[in-house]
Amino acid sequence: MASTLKMKIENFNSLGHVADRCAEIIDEAAKQAIAERGQFTIAFSGGSTPLPLYHTLAKREIDWNKVHVFQVDERIAPAGDENRNFTHLKFCLLDHTPIPSSNVHAMPVTTQPSRNAAEIYENLLVSKTGQPPILDIVHLGIGEDGHTASLIPGDSVLNYQAGYVAITEEYNGYRRMTLSFHAINSARRLLWQITGAHKSSVLKQLINGDQSIPAGSISREQAIVITDIAQ
């Protein structure tokens, strides 16, 4: 089944231009949110795609004292592990900004049992963004299999309806913590950063609202796709 709602799509001719545009969108949203509500909340995805964005965003003049940073998903691995999304988020972005440590909300994936860790993060999300939690921006990418966040094809997490944070089954060697569809779809804005010709097929599925892939079940009305893939 495909959604008929349209998403906004902007095409650029380089990874740098994609990163610049994503940073511009985040910068503008931060200024608006701080002016209207006194704070800006954003959840970042991991992987290699956001790295140019992190470097670019660190150079922006944002009121980081009023920014709260969350994660979209994270591998269950030790702190500082190279496979942790937070490791790269911290090294490439957070360490280069004056954001207070109290405003940085890494997923507590080393807490055991994992279901307690998910509950802890959900409670934190609610305490900072309301009930139900409404993030100003959720930043998303997409995998060649159509996953986004750690909402993975065939995983039981796709059917999770009880809350906003869940634990996945093992995928590529790791279980993961992830925001649920409910948490993602409640965001004021969804920012997709999708690069690389190898993702052209799955991007087309996303744009067409193909719900046979997990990404196709993400809300489209408040979404914008920034990509270097020609349409």
Between residues 3 and 13, the one the model is more confident about:
13
Q: Rounded to the nearest 10 degrees, how much is the dihedral formed by the CA atoms of 214, 219, 195, 177?
A: -50
Strand order across the 223-227 sheet: 8-11, 223-227, 189-194, 137-140, 40-44, 67-71
The pLDDT of 177-184, averaged and rounded, is: 96
What's this model's pTM, rounded to 2 decimal places?
0.95
Percentage of residues in the chain having pLDDT higher than 90: 91
- Of 1-5, 51-55, 120-124, 168-172, give the lowest mean pLDDT range: 1-5
| Highest CATH level, class, for 38-196 | alpha beta
**Average model confidence (pLDDT) across the chain:** 94
For residue 161, is pLDDT > 90?
no
Domain boundaries, the chain: 38-196
For residue 3, is pLDDT > 60?
no
d(CA 190, CA 40): 14
For residue 62, is pLDDT > 90?
yes
Which pLDDT value is given to residue 230? Answer: 84
